[in-house]
Amino acid sequence: MATRALLGSIQTDAAGNQVLTSTYNHYDGYPENLGVGLNKYYDQTDAAIKISNQGYISYLNPETGEIEAKHKEPADKTKLPDSYEDAMREVYSLADSYGADYVYLYDFDDMEWLDSRMYGSKKLMDTFSGTGIENQFEGYEGGDLADEDSIRNMEENDYLNEWKSFLTEGNKEMANAKTVLKGKPHLDIYLSSLENDIRLNGPEDYQGYTSDDWEEDYTNYMADKMDY
């Protein structure tokens, strides 16, 4: 029975997007075969990029590095989301469409192939977390020393990541409010005020709100607006 795999490398294109170049491997895609062959013969950057562009591999011989390919197909080029987590979901979805049992991604920092079993997108996130693959989605500067501009950029990225996390937490409360209050008159006015309050003060005051709580908050807010 075939053990399929996706193997690929992620690079930044001219527009600054992270793009996955991926190849389908049909037979013996488990680490003891494909993984060994990749790290033995295709662990250098140029070789890793070249095999990522292969498109279709029937079998890679781990002893010689030779590739058997019954079909000639172009490699897939997939623009990935900016978020590491969302990017791994995209990689998982593509690998799933291949019918893959394993995913192999090239780590440009350590110049090695890393592999993950296909046990859901969370498995991919955990496996590649803390590697050069994750670093590609976090404004990673590389090197042991960084100049002032690099440090400033990393600090700005940290701030943006915290801000994105903050907004994500607030989105949950916003979604709950929209669901419970759907159809209410002037709902957009209330939601705009709610969004501004969460932005300024955080979502904590609204966490754990029940349907009755949202109804009461909406009614009180609209009553106050009518008084004006």
pLDDT above 90: residue 225: no
Bridge partner residues of 21 (DSSP): 9, 77
The two tokens of residue 107 are 């780590």
pLDDT above 70: residue 150: no
Shortest CA distance to 10 belongs to which of 83, 108, 123, 150? Answer: 108
* Least confident stretch, 4-18, 121-135, 181-195: 181-195
* Strand 56-57 relative to strand 18-25, pairing: parallel
Give residue 206's pLDDT: 81
Report pLDDT digits (tens) over 26-50: 999 999 999 999 999 999 999 999 9
Report pLDDT digits (tens) over 85-134: 999 999 999 999 999 999 999 999 999 999 999 999 999 999 999 999 99
Q: Where are the domains of the chain?
A: 5-135, 148-227
pLDDT above 90: residue 207: no
* Least confident stretch, 62-76, 126-140, 149-163, 209-223: 149-163
Structural Rg of the chain based on CA atoms? 24
pLDDT above 50: residue 139: no
- Return d(Cα 182, Cα 205) in angstroms, integer: 21
3-state helix/strand/coil string of the chain: CCCCEEEEEEEECCCCCEEEEEEEECCCCCHHHHHHHHHHHCCCHHHHHHHHCCCEECEECCCCCCEECCCCCCCEEEECCCCHHHHHHHHHHHHHHHCCCEEEEEECCCCEEEEEECCCHHHHHHHHCCCHHHHCCCCCCCCCCCCHHHHHHHHHHHHHHHHHHHHHHHHHHHHHHHHHCCCCCCHHHHHHHHHHHHHHHCCHHHCCCCHHHHHHHHHHHHHHHHHC
Give residue 141's pLDDT: 41
Question: Mean pLDDT of all residues in the chain?
Answer: 84
Over pLDDT 70: what percentage of the chain?
81
CA distances for 136 relative to 35, 140, 162, 178, angstroms: 22, 6, 18, 35
